[in-house]
């Protein structure tokens, strides 16, 4: 155990780096199952999970259970970490802008790739999971089979904008990606969260909220993708 102050915390997709003021940082990767708990120092959470990393303070403990990887790295070596150095920009980071992604969509390394596949690749954008892929494509009005080079300039820019907007919306709402006013209306009307949460994701055979067309679904990269055939026409 070492005494130090946490200076900052950075996330990279499902990886997290906790920077301490003594110059060392702790890299942790949650995969799909790592879980943080914050508890009072005298109360360990009731769990059968294995404790992997603990930050203990006088008033509060932050405990990470079940994460697959925990590594201590020098702060200046964090950017060269094998996982982090391969990651694309994270739409949640403050320094990432719409132009960051409109440039990447024009880049020959990405422009010829099918968007359904590209959006899940962590080397293109860090942290876009399966439901965000469907929701981003819907709000951009882009068919999942389209490739960036097939889109006109305004559509490509709109897609770049939605990559950032929908990812940040999901972060701030705890996972609700549909239009905030519409979600609020549905919530007020007594609908459950699973009903109003998304615009298209897991809404198979239900009417599109924008045009009433039946939502379609298919597997892309072994994960289920949902889209509206009318709002997202094939190019
Ligand atoms: Zn539609």
Whether the per-residue pLDDT at 181 is higher than 90: the answer is yes
C-alpha 224 – ligand 1 centre gap (Å): 18
| 3-state SS, residue 75 | helix
Give the pLDDT score at 27. Answer: 96
Residue 78 to residue 115: CA distance in whole angstroms: 30
Q: What whole-number percentage of the chain has pLDDT above 70? A: 100
The span from the CA of 216 to the CA of 218, in Å, is 7
* pLDDT score at 163: 98
CA of 206 to the centre of ligand 1 (A): 11
Strand residues in the chain grouped as ranges (E):
6-12, 15-20, 24-29, 35-39, 51-56, 61-65, 69-74, 216-220, 223-227
Q: Is the pLDDT of residue 14 over 90?
A: no
Distance 199 CA to ligand 1 centre (A): 10
- Rounded distance from Cα 235 to ligand 1 centre (Å): 16
- State the distance from the centre of ligand 1 to the C-alpha of 112, rounded, in angstroms: 26
Compute the half-sphere exposure of residue 124: CA atoms within 13 Å on the CB side of its CA.
Answer: 28
- Residue 189: the pLDDT is 95
Q: What domains appear along the chain, each with residue ranges and CATH number?
A: 6-86 (3.20.190.10), 98-227 (1.10.8.50)
pTM of the model: 0.82
What distance in angstroms lies between residue 87's CA and the mean position of ligand 1's atoms? 33
Distance in Å, CA 189 to ligand 1 centroid: 22
- Residue 230, φ and ψ in degrees, nearest 5: -90, -45
pLDDT band at 1 (very low <50, low <70, confident <90, very high): low
Separation of CA 159 and ligand 1 centre (Å): 17
| C-alpha 120 to ligand 1 mean position (Å) | 23
Q: Kindly give the distance from the C-alpha atom of residue 205 to the centroid of ligand 1, in angstroms, as a whole number.
A: 12
* Model confidence at 2: pLDDT above 80: no
pLDDT in tens, 45-102: 888 899 999 999 999 999 999 977 899 999 999 989 999 999 999 999 888 999 999 9
pLDDT exceeds cutoff 80 at 140:
yes
Which residues, in sequence order, are CB contacts of 125 under 8 Å at separation 6+?
A: 88, 89, 90, 91, 101, 104, 119, 163
* Residue 175 pLDDT class (50, 70, 90 cuts): very high
Tokens read off for 145: 């089979």
């Amino acid at each position: 155990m070492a005494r130090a102050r946490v200076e900052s915390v950075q996330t990279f997709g499902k990886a997290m780096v906790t920077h301490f003021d003594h110059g060392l940082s702790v890299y942790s990767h949650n995969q799909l199952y790592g879980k943080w708990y914050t508890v009072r120092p005298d109360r360990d959470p009731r769990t059968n999970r294995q404790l992997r990393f603990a930050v203990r303070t006088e008033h509060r403990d932050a405990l990470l259970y079940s994460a697959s990887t925990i590594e201590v790295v020098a702060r200046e070596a964090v950017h060269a970490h094998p996982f982090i150095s391969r990651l694309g920009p994270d739409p949640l980071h403050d320094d990432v802008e719409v132009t960051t992604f409109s440039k990447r969509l024009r880049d020959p390394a990405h422009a010829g790739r099918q968007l359904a596949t590209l959006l899940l690749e962590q080397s293109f954008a860090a942290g876009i999971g399966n439901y965000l892929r469907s929701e981003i494509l819907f709000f951009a009005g882009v068919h999942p089979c389209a490739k960036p080079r097939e889109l006109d300039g305004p559509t490509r820019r709109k897609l770049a904008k939605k990559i950032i907007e929908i990812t940040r919306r999901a972060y701030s709402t705890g996972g609700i990606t549909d239009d905030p006013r519409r979600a609020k209306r549905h919530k007020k009307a007594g609908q459950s969260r699973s009903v109003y949460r998304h615009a298209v994701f897991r809404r198979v055979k239900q009417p599109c909220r924008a045009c009433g067309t039946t939502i379609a679904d298919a597997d892309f990269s072994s994960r289920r993708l949902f889209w509206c055939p009318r709002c997202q026409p094939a190019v």
